[in-house]
Amino acid sequence: MADPPAFESPVVTIGRAAGAGSITLTDESATTKASVRAADGTPAASALGLTFGCAEARGDVLVARTRPDEWMVFGTSQAVAAHLGGLDLSGYASTVDITHSRLMFRITGLAAAKAMAKVCSIDFSDPMMPSGACVGASVAKVGCDIIRHDIDDVPSYRILCDRSFGQYLFDALVDAKAEFG
């Protein structure tokens, strides 16, 4: 099988001051992303585990249970392939590479939750949304998956959305974080 085309993000970040200030916003869309749908009781669901709404790093990949019957796996293409390669897909279970259909941004900083709260109705307080939590929610009216995965105790949120909304959402997040310097 031919290699898939190299990933090119459609999001223009240059000139958007994405990295300036105390909150950084980065486009991490090139990260390989896989979705696993698996019904209750299937071997794949048991192997991936986690409670709905939770995420954890496993070696080189990040695994998040974003729906009761859906997991997402992020990492390099080799790491994701290695993690999912041995998965038993018997029963109602399947994996799809969603690298090219979903974009991923990462917003990091002590005030990142305040910026997120401007565009999303989720409670981003630590007890409700600790590191290792994930939710599906609308961000600036775009249906997104949000995964909190802190970097050295600094709050950091990965935000995934459909590719076609990427530039709008990126610009909306730049706008939301602007007042926090």
Partner 1 sequence: MLLVPCPNCGPRNASDMSYGGEPHSRPDPNTASPEQWRTYLYLRDNESGWITEKWYCSSGCRKHFKLERHTLTGELRNPPLPGNKTGGHK
Judged by the rule CB under 8 A, the positions of this chain that interact with partner 1 are: 40, 52-53, 67-68, 121, 135-138, 143-144
Please report where in the chains the tokens 């990040």 appear, as a residue: 62
**Shortest Cβ distance from residue 137 to partner 1 (Å)?**
5
Which pair of structure tokens corresponds to residue 32?
Answer: 């390989």
CA atoms of 47 and 145, how far apart (whole Å): 22
Pick between residue 23 and residue 134 the one whose CB is nearest to partner 1: 134
Pick between residue 100 and residue 141 the one whose CB is nearest to partner 1: 141
Instruction: Please answer whether residues 44 and 88 qualify as being in contact, where contact means their C-beta atoms are separated by less than 8 angstroms.
Output: yes
Which pair of structure tokens corresponds to residue 112?
Answer: 């990142």
**Shortest Cβ distance from residue 3 to partner 1 (Å)?**
32
The upper half-sphere exposure of residue 24, i.e. CA atoms within 13 Å in the direction of its Cβ, equals 10
**Shortest Cβ distance from residue 50 to partner 1 (Å)?**
14
CA atoms of 45 and 148, how far apart (whole Å): 22
**Shortest Cβ distance from residue 168 to partner 1 (Å)?**
16
Pick between residue 18 and residue 176 the one whose CB is nearest to partner 1: 176
